[in-house]
Amino acid sequence: MIIKAAQRTASVKEYYFSRKLKEIDTLNAERAAKGEQKIISLGIGAPDGMPPAEAIEALVESARQPGNHAYQSYVGLPALRQAFADWYRRYYNVELDPATEIQPLVGSKEGILLTSLAFLDKGDKVLVPDPGYPTYTSASRLVEAEMVTYDLCAENGWQPDFDALEKMDLSGVKMMWTNYPNMPTGASATRELYRKLVDFGRRHGIMICNDNPYSFILTEERLSILEVEGAKDCCIELNSLSKAHNMSGWRIGMVAAAEDVIKEILKVKSQMDSGMFKPLQLAAVKALSQGPEWFEELNAEYKARRVIAAQIFDALGAQYNIDSTGLFLWGKISPDNPLLAGTDASKPLGERISDRALYEAGVFITPGLIFGKNGEDYIRVSLCASQTLLKQALEKIKAL
C-alpha cells in the first residue's frame, strides 16, 4: 500500500466467516477436481427458505414502476415505519411512535456499528457478553472504545450474573450489549431478565442495547425488552427480517428507541447511505404483515431440523439442550471425547472437533471459540440447512 492503514483497523481481523468461507471455497475446488461432494456447511445462520410470496410479488411489481429507483428518504417510507410499529404492537405488545421511535436499517448488523459510532467516544467502556456475537466486539474496537467483557455461563442459563456485574468497576461504562434468544447458546429471554437489565441500566446510567433478531425462532412467546416499564429511558432494540422472514440477503432491519436516541443514530446513518431501495421497503411492509401461521410453519420445519442436529451432536459426543431457541444448536465437548484423539492439543476442544469434521468428514461446524473464551469448549450447528443436507452431514459424521 502507498499509505499506512488506519490504526483502528489493527485492532480487528477480517470477519471469521469471511475468512472461513474463502477457505471452504478453496477446499471445494480441490474436492471438485477429485469428483468429491462439496463441503456441507452448517456454519452460518442464513435461512435457506423462501421469503413470504407477497413480499416477492411486491418487490417485483414495485421495481417495474417508474420513479421507484431514485434515492429515498433517510428515515424510510412512512408505510414501512408504520408496519414496524404494527409488528411490535401485534407480537411484542410494545407501542412505538412510527414517526420518531423507529429507524429502518440496512440489516440490524449495520445498527451495531451505527449505535457505537453515535454514542461511544475513544476510551469509553462497553459491556460485551462472552460468549457473544463477534460484531459487538469488532464494532467497539473500531470506534476505539474499551471493551469490558461479562461472562455468560451454562450454570446461570447463559444469562448475565447480576451479582458479578454489580461488583465490577462500572466507571466509564456507557453501553451494554445483550442478545436473546441468545446467539450462540440458544438461551431464551424472560421478562424477569429484561426487568433486571432495565433496572441495571437505569441505576448505573448505562444504555442497554438489546439485539433481538431470533425472537420468532423456536420460541413459545415473543419478548422485547421495550415491553418493560421504563425501558425507553435506557434501552434500544435492534430487530430484523433476516431470520424470521427468510430475508437475510435483503438486508432489512430496524432500531427502536426513544426519539432523542433515534435522532443521534440518524445523524450517523445519514452520512453513510442514501436511503433503502423503495421496492425493498414496500416488500418489507408485506413481509411484516404475516400472521401467526407463517411462523408456525417456519418453526415446524426448524423443530424437525433441530432433531437431526441433535443426532449430529450425539454422534460427536457433544452435550446440548434440545429445547434451545433460535437458529442454532450449541454443544459442549468434554476433554475425554474420543474424537479428540490425534488432533492438535494446543487448540481449544471445540476447534479440534470442528477441524476434524471439516477436514475428515467434509462438514463445516462452527467452533465456539469465535464467540469468546467461554465458548472454547463448544461447537455450534446451524439449522439453516435442509433436512436432507443435515442427514447427509450426520452420515458423514458417523463415518468418523
Per residue in 173-210, pLDDT tens?
999 999 999 999 999 999 999 999 999 999 999 999 99
Judge residue 7's burial from the number of C-beta atoms within 10 Å of its C-beta, 0-12 exposed, 13-18 middle, 19 or more buried.
exposed
pLDDT at 298 over 90: yes
CA pair distance 356, 339, nearest whole angstrom: 8
pLDDT at 20 over 90: no
| The pLDDT value given to residue 6 | 86
CA 201 vs. chain centroid, Å, equals 22
Whether 130 maps to a domain, the answer reads: yes
| The pLDDT value given to residue 8 | 85
CA pair distance 96, 258, nearest whole angstrom: 9
The overall pTM is greater than 0.85: yes
Per residue in 217-239, pLDDT tens?
999 899 999 999 999 999 999 99
Per the model's pLDDT, the better-predicted residue between 15 and 103 turns out to be 103
Domain boundary among 290, 310, 344: 290
Same domain, yes or no: 325 and 204: no
Whether 2 maps to a domain, the answer reads: no
Domain boundary among 229, 255, 290: 290
Per residue in 308-340, pLDDT tens?
999 999 999 999 999 999 999 999 999 999 999
| The pLDDT value given to residue 14 | 87
Per residue in 97-131, pLDDT tens?
999 999 999 999 999 999 999 999 999 999 999 99
| The pLDDT value given to residue 385 | 97
Same domain, yes or no: 122 and 28: no
pLDDT at 304 over 90: yes
Check if the beta carbon of residue 46 is closer than 8 Å to that of residue 248: yes
Q: Band of the pLDDT at 1, cuts 50, 70, 90?
A: confident
Q: Of 231, 209, 193, 218, which is closest to residue 129 (Cα–Cα)? A: 209
Domain boundary among 290, 325, 344: 290
| The pLDDT value given to residue 11 | 81
Whether 375 maps to a domain, the answer reads: yes
Q: Band of the pLDDT at 21, cuts 50, 70, 90?
A: confident
Same domain, yes or no: 16 and 69: no
Q: Band of the pLDDT at 9, cuts 50, 70, 90?
A: confident
Same domain, yes or no: 158 and 262: yes
Tally of domains in the chain: 2
Whether 352 maps to a domain, the answer reads: yes
Per residue in 33-90, pLDDT tens?
999 999 999 998 999 999 999 999 999 999 999 999 999 999 999 999 999 999 999 9
Same domain, yes or no: 243 and 357: no
Same domain, yes or no: 231 and 135: yes
Per residue in 243-295, pLDDT tens?
999 999 999 999 999 999 999 999 999 999 989 999 999 999 999 999 999 99
Neighbours of 365 (CB within 10 A): 30
Angle between helical axes of 108-119 and 134-142 (0-180°, round to 10)? 40
CATH code of the domain containing 68: 3.40.640.10
Cell for 292?
Answer: 401467526
Same domain, yes or no: 252 and 215: yes
| The pLDDT value given to residue 339 | 96
Buried b (16+ CB within 10 A) or exposed e, 266-283: beebeeeeebbbbbbbbb
Whether 219 maps to a domain, the answer reads: yes
Same domain, yes or no: 38 and 62: no
Place of cell 467461554: 374
Same domain, yes or no: 226 and 372: no
CA pair distance 384, 335, nearest whole angstrom: 28
Check if the beta carbon of residue 12 is closer than 8 Å to that of residue 138: yes
Per residue in 74-87, pLDDT tens?
999 999 999 999 99
Neighbours of 196 (CB within 10 A): 16
Domain that holds residue 363: 7-49+293-398
| The pLDDT value given to residue 84 | 98
Per residue in 338-367, pLDDT tens?
999 999 999 999 999 999 999 999 999 999
Same domain, yes or no: 239 and 351: no
Amino acid at 52: P
CATH code of the domain containing 377: 3.90.1150.10
Whether 1 maps to a domain, the answer reads: no
Same domain, yes or no: 258 and 393: no
Same domain, yes or no: 35 and 165: no
